[in-house]
Chains A and B, each alone.
Chain A
Amino acid sequence: MSLIPKSLIPASQFSNLFSALFSHYRRHPLQLLALALMIMLATMLWAGVNHLTTQARASLGQSEQAVAARSQVERVDGQALAVADFVTLRRAGLCVIPWLEVERPGQAGRLVGIDPLAADCFAQTAPAAGNNSPELIDSPEPSKKSEPAWTPTLNGEPFIDISEAAALAQNVASRNVRFSLLIVPPEPASALLADYRMTGFSLGPDTGELGDSFLLNLDALGFLVLLITALLLRSVYQLGMAQRRDSFALLQRFGVMPSAINRVLLVEILLLALLSVVPGVWLGRLLAGTVGGGFGQALDSLFDTPLYAGQSENWLTPIVTMMAIVLAVCLAQNVRALLLRMAAVWPFALPAKLLTGFGFGMRPWPWLAMPLAAAGRR
């Protein structure tokens, strides 16, 4: 669709009209600079937060996979596991390791008793990325499978030899003792004995809600950044529009239709947005890269394995999202007028009234910004 209305103003005059309207910024270059900087700043902050959120979401997804990759054995009949089960499974050729968690007597926290000798098969069979090995031990590189079996040594609390843990378990209530058998999933899965089944094994409390809460905070931060910068952007733009109102009236007196003026303004803000949004997204990625390094280190420490997802290569989504938001914020009046015209036409009446605040004078742009911001989250 052409932005130049053929019946209203010839294409040859469009550039003259554009030049005439843009002349305002030639005389007020600081206003143009402020507008461009505002758009760039808004884009940088939102794109930065958006990138961080995306990275955090991907990283947490990886961490959940890493945690969920650990498996344990349970009895099909629901009975508690015992040493006899460990023996049975090892004799069946399965790689299992006993895991005995005991509450520290008189202290906070817990101790974990493992069998260093049984961990040997974990070290040899665990996939490098999956880190199925408990990694509690000063061990050589797991991938060096050709070397002779290593002699594991525990490096102190909270991991201790299982015999010490068993001795401690004698002195604490049974509810404070948890015995599990970790297993390297056999291939095929049917190799597991019929009396047992595999389930996921978590080292600690479920971090799902914590992660969701963290991501929600990031989303809320992104929305707030967007809202505040959009308000600032709108203020600067409206200031310029107020100063140009007489020019618009004069042009109408010269025979330029308001719709033609609106089209020129649309082209003007599109160009300005494009020129400001692209560097803004680049700066946002730079910001996210700087801040994201610390986040990656935190994740590494938390999960003891590199889980940081790094930056995605998607440029289009933040650019399109910010372009749409800049247009919605700056041309809200025009959008509202268009929606009100649409409200007179039956199929569009209800959505148009919803977006224009039911005709109660509410501004439509926050309504428009919300779905756009949500879309930006991918």
Chain B
Amino acid sequence: MGQGAGVTEPLLKVRGLGKHFASAGQTVNVLSGLELTLAPGESLALMGRSGSGKSTLLNILCGLEQPDAGFVSIAGEHFAADSSASGPNQQRWAMLRRQRIGVVFQEANLMPALSLLDNVRLRASLAGQSDQYCGDWLKRLGIGGLAQRYPDQVSGGQRQRAALAMVFAMRPSLILADEPTGSLDARTALEVAGELFYQQAASGCALVLATHDSALAARCGQRLDLAQLGA
């Protein structure tokens, strides 16, 4: 379980978080009594076997799933389990995802009918950021020459770099990354992860990274093994 940096106001605070699913007539507790705190600039690795609840936790942290117990606080916005599905809370979650939370998944992070540059511009625009530097983000991530290509015209690694460019162009407070290198070969995965940690450190945002890769997890300041937690 991650601990806050002390003097810094926590960006992310989770208390007593619980989530269960019904399966074959039985209730399966995926998350139970989870607590964590994360300050700006910190990084947390979520580890655990498949089905341990890593993706579920990330989905809860960005409001795409509702918890059954506990509460989540992100950037001063508080969401209790019993009210998080309501309309106004859905709007607050949407606002957070649009402006404060950057999400990178293993695949399908780009609009297929938009060029890489237009994808980055769209993300920046939705976050209320200028699209002036979108091309620069692609250049920094080494895919400036592919700006006008469509996602199906570039490799998986290049798509993930573009996804990272989208996230950094929106200048988020928190990045949630779910196995962002999971579908890449070892070398490309290393490069993409390097870019992720470098830009995260440079921008000072917090990072929650779900991964199977212990080497990748070791690069995070904190680690949380959901399997060991017994969730």
A341 to chain B, nearest CB (A): 11
A26 to B114, CA, bound (A): 9
> Does A374 lie at the interface of the complex (its beta carbon under 8 Å from any beta carbon of B)?
no
The answer to whether B94 touches A246 (Cβ under 8 A) is no
Contact between A254 and B113 (Cβ–Cβ < 8 Å)? no
Contact B91 A247 (CB under 8 A): no
Q: Return chain B residues, CB-CB under 8 Å to A263.
A: none
Q: How far is the CA of A23 from the CA of B110 in the complex (A)?
A: 13
Q: Does B95 contact A (CB under 8 A)?
A: yes
Q: Can you list, as one digit per residue, whether each of A237-248 has a CB less than 8 Å from chain B (1) or not (0)?
A: 000000000110
23 sampled A-B residue pairs with Cβ under 8 A: A13-B125, A13-B126, A16-B121, A16-B125, A17-B126, A23-B114, A23-B118, A27-B112, A246-B112, A247-B112, A247-B113, A250-B108, A250-B109, A253-B62, A253-B64, A253-B97, A254-B97, A254-B123, A256-B94, A256-B98, A256-B126, A257-B91, A257-B94
Q: Assess the B126–A16 pair: CB atoms within 8 A.
A: yes
Q: Which of B180-195 contact A (CB under 8 A)?
A: none
* Beta-carbon contact of A10 and B98 below 8 Å: no
Q: Mark A1-24, 1 if CB is under 8 A from B, else 0.
A: 000000111100100110010011
- Residues of A in contact (CB 8 Å), total 23
Interface contact A20-B94, CB-CB below 8 Å: no
Alpha-carbon distance A10/B98, docked complex (angstroms): 12
Per-residue CB proximity of B63-100 to A under 8 Å, as 1/0? Answer: 01000000000000000000000000011011111110
Interface string of A310-326 (1 = CB under 8 A from B): 00000000000000000
Question: Are A26 and B126 touching (Cβ within 8 A)?
Answer: no
Number of interface residues of B (CB under 8 A): 29
Whether A255 lies near B97 (C-beta < 8 A) is yes
- Whether A8 contacts B108 by the Cβ 8 Å rule is no
Could you say which of A8, A10, A252 contacts B91, with CB atoms under 8 Å apart? A8
Does the CB pair B122–A255 fall under 8 Å?
no
Q: What is B's interface to A at a CB cutoff of 8 Å? A: 62, 64, 90-91, 93-99, 101, 103, 105, 108-114, 118, 121-123, 125-126, 128, 150
Alpha-carbon distance A250/B103, docked complex (angstroms): 10
Q: State the A residues within 8 Å of B (CB).
A: 7-10, 13, 16-17, 20, 23-24, 26-28, 246-247, 250-257
- 5 more A-B residue pairs beyond the given contacts A16-B122, A247-B112, with a C-beta to C-beta distance below 8 A: A9-B98, A16-B126, A27-B113, A250-B108, A255-B96
CB <8 Å contact, A26 and B91: no
Whether A254 touches B114, Cβ cut-off 8 Å, given contacts A8-B91, A10-B128, A16-B125, is no
| CB-based nearest B residue for A26 | B113
Residues of A within 8 A of B105 (CB): 253
Least Cβ–Cβ distance between A11 and chain B, in angstroms? 12
Shortest distance in angstroms between A134's beta carbon and chain B's nearest beta carbon? 72
Q: How far is the CA of A22 from the CA of B132 in the complex (A)?
A: 22
- Name the residue in A17, A23, A247 with the highest tally of chain B Cβ atoms < 10 Å from its Cβ: A23
